């Protein structure tokens, strides 16, 4: 399809504060009113967003060198283990890391009140944290132990590096067994008494760009208020998905690897998560602008909750045993109604993705663009459309 505007033209309009921007929530009614042909002439950008737990999140921190120097080999921030198998005072803090001595599920179901995600939340909120670090000592890095207190302002770098965010679509979890299931999609009551979904649906970035026409490696994103970017396809990304007639995936599918400067983030959009009986995680708010380069791209942003379907999967058996069985598909419109029918039974609905916060993020991004403070970037590389997501095979050593 022929493009009717370029990235350069859009950015020129942003810089002169004349860009026409709508959120993915607003664009649907706008096009209904104006018609596609008129709307595509007027609208430069549609902002999309999502907010929810994204377990594959974390950050690289650099502490600067102490006197005397230490080459950290083991370290804990607020008693949460960080990875230190990199340069002397660099560490990686992961969202799902438990706090030292957390009884986890030995006291089933565990509470998981504090972990990696909460440390990241505290960092962004500017709180004082404790670093405890050990080393074996070397000639050039003699210090073998230290305990100190710091805030994010004391660090040289605090760069969020999230290998998998913004799942294009997601499973809807239900429990067909007679016992409660404690999952990363919350507490699932026995006998299909409730279910949980986790997607911003019609507002979610990759559901508004189902074939990755504009969101690619190098795309500038709004990562919890900081201007970050997509640095790669996310882990487990696949472009080969079960798609509906409208091209929208009916399962997980695409993912994004995101990075951004934590010193510029808004604490409202970086929140530690405690999931009973499961563990800790981090909820992240992400906003992504979609440049309306042509009519086809605009058309994709018109997708509504009623046209997006998630697969309902039994988390008591089919999910853990990886049987591949799907009980049925439900639309996000059905899910948002609060009650759905599965296998002929009425089921109450929970959500782990906040539409409220996603809307806030989409609006904040829209405001930034309108103020001329957020420019769009052309992707350096398209996200893969043909790679599949492999399974792990447990096998004997190859002779």
Partner 1 sequence: MITKKLMLFFPKCEVEKPIVYHLIKDYNLKINLIRAKITPEEYGYLVMDITGKEEDIERGLEYVKGFDVNVNATYRGLRHNEEKCTDCGNCLSHCPSGALVVEDSKTRKIIFKPDKCIECLACIRACPFNACISIF
Q: Which of 273, 286, 293, 362 binds partner 1 (CB under 8 A)?
A: 273
Size of the site for partner 1 (CB under 8 A): 32
Q: Given the rule CB under 8 A, which of 90-98, 237-245, 346-354, 378-386 is the region that contacts partner 1? A: 346-354
| CB closer to partner 1, 94 vs 210 | 94
The least distance separating partner 1 from the CB of residue 144, rounded to whole angstroms, comes to 37
Start-to-end CA distance of the chain, whole Å, equals 52
Integer Cα distance of 129 and 237 in angstroms: 34
Contact 123, 308 (CB under 8 A): no
In the numeric block, the tokens 């919350």 are attached to 186
Residue 189 engages partner 1 in binding (rule: CB under 8 A): yes
Comparison of 187 and 326: residue with beta carbon closer to partner 1: 187
- Location of structure tokens 């709307």: 39
Select from 174, 254, 151 the least CA-distant residue to 208.
254
Work out the burial of residue 236: count CB atoms within 10 Å of its CB; fewer than 13 is exposed, 13-18 middle, 19 or more buried: middle
Residue 328 or 349 with smaller CB distance to partner 1: 349
Task: By CB under 8 A, tell whether 338 contacts partner 1.
Answer: yes
Site string for partner 1, 97-136 (x = CB under 8 A): ----------------x-----------------------
Q: Which two tokens stand for residue 32?
A: 């209904």
Binding residue for partner 1 (CB under 8 A) from 104, 187, 327, 328?
187
State in angstroms the smallest separation of the CB of 340 from partner 1.
Answer: 11
Would you count residue 283 as binding partner 1 (CB under 8 A)?
A: yes
Tally of helices (H runs) and strands (E runs) in the chain:
7, 22
> Considering the complex, what minimum distance in angstroms separates the CB of residue 241 from partner 1?
25
Q: Which of 157, 227, 274, 294 binds partner 1 (CB under 8 A)?
A: 274
8-state DSSP, 397: P
CB 222, CB 368: distance < 8 Å: yes
Q: Which H or E element spans position 49?
A: strand 45-53
CB of 341 to partner 1, least distance (A): 14
- Euclidean distance between CA atoms 287 and 354, whole angstroms: 13
**How many CB atoms lie under 10 A from the CB of residue 20?**
15
Backbone CA torsion sign across 184, 186, 189, 194: negative
Q: Does 266 bind partner 1 (CB under 8 A)?
A: no
Q: Is 144 in the site for partner 1 (CB under 8 A)?
A: no
The residue from 47, 96, 165, 196 that contacts partner 1 (CB under 8 A) is 196
The residue within the footprint of partner 1, chosen from 52, 110, 210, 225 (CB under 8 A), is: 52
Contact set for partner 1, span 348-377 (CB under 8 A): 348-357, 359
Which residue number, 272 or 289, has a Cβ lying nearer to partner 1? 272
Listed in sequence order, the DSSP H helices in the chain are 7-15, 24-34, 36-42, 116-124, 295-300, 332-336, 355-370
Q: Which residue has the tokens 């009916």?
A: 250
Residue closer to partner 1 (CB basis): 159 or 187: 187
Q: Which stretch binds partner 1 (CB under 8 A): 59-67, 194-202, 244-252, 306-314?
A: 194-202
Query: What length does the chain have?
Result: 399
In this structure, the strands spanning 194-197 and 345-351 are: parallel
Single out the residue of 23, 135, 171, 194 in contact with partner 1 (rule: CB under 8 A).
Answer: 194
C-alpha span between 129 and 120 (Å, rounded): 10
Q: Which stretch binds partner 1 (CB under 8 A): 90-98, 99-107, 181-189, 238-246?
A: 181-189
How far apart CA 176 and CA 240 sit, in angstroms, is 29
CB of 225 to partner 1, least distance (A): 15
Choice between 59 and 352, CB closer to partner 1? 352
**Contact residues for partner 1 (CB under 8 A)?**
51-53, 113, 186-187, 189, 193-196, 271-276, 281, 283, 336, 338, 348-357, 359
């Amino acid at each position: 399809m022929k493009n009717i505007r370029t990235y350069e033209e859009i950015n020129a309009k942003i810089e002169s504060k004349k860009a026409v921007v709508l959120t993915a929530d607003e664009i649907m009614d706008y096009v209904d009113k104006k018609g596609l042909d008129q709307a595509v002439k007027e609208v430069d950008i549609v902002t999309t967003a999502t907010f929810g737990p994204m377990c594959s999140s974390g950050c690289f921190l650099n502490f600067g060198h102490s006197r005397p120097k230490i080459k950290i080999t083991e370290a804990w921030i607020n008693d949460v283990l960080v990875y230190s198998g990199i340069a002397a005072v660099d560490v990686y803090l992961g969202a799902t890391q438990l706090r030292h001595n957390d009884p986890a599920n030995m006291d089933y179901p565990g509470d998981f009140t504090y972990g990696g995600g909460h440390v990241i939340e505290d960092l962004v909120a500017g709180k004082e944290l404790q670093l405890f670090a050990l080393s074996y000592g070397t000639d050039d890095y003699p210090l073998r132990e230290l305990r100190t207190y710091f805030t994010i302002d004391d660090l040289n770098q605090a760069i969020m590096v999230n290998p998998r965010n913004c799942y294009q679509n997601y499973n809807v979890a239900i429990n067909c067994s007679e016992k409660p299931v404690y999952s990363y999609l919350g507490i699932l009551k026995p006998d299909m008494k409730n279910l949980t979904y986790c997607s911003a649906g019609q507002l979610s970035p990759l559901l508004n760009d189902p074939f990755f026409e504009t969101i690619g490696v190098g795309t500038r994103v709004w990562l919890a208020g900081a201007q970050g970017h997509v640095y790669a396809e996310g882990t487990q990304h696949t472009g080969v998905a079960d798609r509906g007639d409208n091209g929208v995936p009916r399962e997980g599918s695409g993912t994004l690897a995101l990075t951004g400067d934590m010193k510029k983030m808004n604490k409202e959009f970086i929140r530690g998560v405690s999931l009973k009986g499961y563990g800790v995680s981090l909820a992240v708010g992400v906003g992504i602008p979609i440049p309306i380069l042509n009519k086809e791209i605009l058309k994709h942003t018109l997708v509504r909750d009623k046209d997006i379907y998630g697969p309902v999967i039994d988390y008591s058996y089919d999910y853990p045993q990886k049987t591949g069985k799907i009980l049925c598909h439900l639309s996000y419109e059905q899910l948002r109604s609060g009650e759905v029918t599965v296998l002929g039974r009425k089921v109450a609905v929970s959500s782990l993705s906040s539409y409220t916060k996603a809307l806030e993020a989409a609006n904040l991004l829209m405001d930034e663009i309108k103020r001329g403070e957020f420019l769009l970037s052309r992707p350096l590389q398209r996200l893969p459309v043909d790679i599949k997501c492999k399974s792990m095979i447990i096998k004997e050593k190859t002779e």
